[in-house]
A and B are shown apart, each in its own frame.
Chain A
């Protein structure tokens, strides 16, 4: 099977280019399914992200690695395309052409949303942890941080010296949140009034998971992405700041 080896070599050596082609194909299949099977009721981009997650699951099962599809040698470039560097570049680019007037209008609502989102996630996550028998303050805070985002979780857990299985759980909680936000947002957008820049900023601050918010808004109305992504990017910073400090001290005072 020399031909297959040759092809594999070409794909692996040109990882990023392979990723462009592969992701393009994935998106095409998703839009095809969206048009044909769902008759456009499920947006193609939501299906594409869902398909991405399914592929990541398949990759994880087959390779036993932590990076989904990117653990296949020929698809390592998917990890680069979806990595922090290009993701941040693309996120920032979505801000191009944003109306500053709309940003100012969000004002206090966005700040209230941010605080309620961070604190609310901590409380909910810590309560679930407690209910399942993780009753020490370090584990409660770490899992609470994971309910904020899968970045706040491990950052807080590391700062507090949490056990590694608890840190893994916090990452999983954040991933579940991100996946749910990505896929559910288009279905509930109308019911919660998510149709203008101001509510998009409040939503971004409440949810906080940048990937989930951006993915969810992209599937709802692409024009709202920069507004939600903007507040969401401040959420992780706020969570990393409050988690190992205010939240831990409060939880320790109540349950320590």
Chain B
């Protein structure tokens, strides 16, 4: 049933957020430390197990796939409810700090991709949009 997939997804998120909150408390930070990341790892591990054991039927998977495919609209809704006015009125300090941090990040992607690890940069690009 579809609800099984949604329930599995929700359970993973709750468990991950709980671990993140716990982790934050342990290090003394008022923040959720990696909760969503932990939840993603949980979902990958648990759903992989269940699928291999034949316990996660395609119908149940639809409950997870729906939320995955509604992701872009959720991001659009998030963008539409940000305080964009203050970002623009925040002055050149905010603009410059944000823009330079982005520039640095983009510049470092190929540098760090080349550092260590397997040579992944030689891969041919797939059928991207």
- B76 and A49 contact, CB distance less than 8 A: yes
Is the CB of B90 closer than 8 A to any CB of chain A? yes
Q: In the complex, which of the residues B65, B80, B126 contacts A69, with contact meaning CB atoms closer than 8 Å?
A: B80
- A120 and B85 contact, CB distance less than 8 A: no
- B31 and A124 contact, CB distance less than 8 A: no
Q: List chain A residues, Cβ under 8 A from B61.
A: 96
- A109 and B117 contact, CB distance less than 8 A: yes
| Closest CB in chain B relative to A199 CB, distance in Å | 5
Task: Report the count of interface residues on B (CB-CB < 8 A).
Answer: 85
**Chain B at the A interface: SS class:** helix
Is the CB of A112 closer than 8 A to any CB of chain B? yes
| Closest CB in chain B relative to A197 CB, distance in Å | 8
**Chain A at the B interface: SS class:** helix
Supposing A52-B77, A120-B108, A129-B93 touch, asked if A171 and B83 sit within 8 A by C-beta, the answer is yes
- B77 and A19 contact, CB distance less than 8 A: yes
Q: List chain B residues, Cβ under 8 A from A74.
A: none
- A169 and B75 contact, CB distance less than 8 A: no
Q: List chain B residues, Cβ under 8 A from A52.
A: 75-80
Chain A residue at minimal CB-CB distance from B93: A132
- A198 and B112 contact, CB distance less than 8 A: no
Cβ proximity bits A48-61 to B, threshold 8 Å, 1 near / 0 not: 11111111110111
**Tally of A-B residue pairs with Cβ under 8 A?**
351
- B31 and A237 contact, CB distance less than 8 A: yes
| Closest CB in chain B relative to A89 CB, distance in Å | 6
Supposing A66-B83, A82-B74, A180-B102 touch, asked if A100 and B109 sit within 8 A by C-beta, the answer is no
CB contacts under 8 Å to B, within A162-180, are: 168-180
Is the CB of A247 closer than 8 A to any CB of chain B? no
Is the CB of A70 closer than 8 A to any CB of chain B? yes
- Whole-angstrom CA separation of A178 from B37 in the bound complex: 19
- Whole-angstrom CA separation of A70 from B87 in the bound complex: 17
Q: List chain B residues, Cβ under 8 A from A218.
A: 71-72, 75
Supposing A52-B76, A81-B77, A82-B76 touch, asked if A206 and B112 sit within 8 A by C-beta, the answer is yes
| Closest CB in chain B relative to A63 CB, distance in Å | 10
Interface of B toward A, CB cutoff 8 Å: 9-10, 12-13, 16-17, 20, 23-24, 27, 29-37, 39-41, 43-45, 47-48, 61, 64-68, 70-102, 104-106, 108-110, 112-113, 115-118, 120-121, 123, 125-126, 128-129
Instruction: Across the A-B interface, give the 9 residue pairs with the lowest CB-CB distance, nearest first.
Output: A172-B90, A176-B98, A82-B77, A52-B79, A60-B85, A82-B78, A172-B94, A237-B33, A175-B87
What are 25 of the A-B contact pairs (CB < 8 Å)?
A: A57-B85, A79-B77, A81-B77, A82-B74, A82-B77, A92-B16, A92-B43, A93-B9, A96-B43, A108-B116, A109-B116, A117-B105, A170-B94, A172-B98, A177-B102, A178-B82, A190-B125, A195-B128, A199-B120, A211-B78, A225-B71, A233-B34, A237-B23, A240-B31, A241-B29
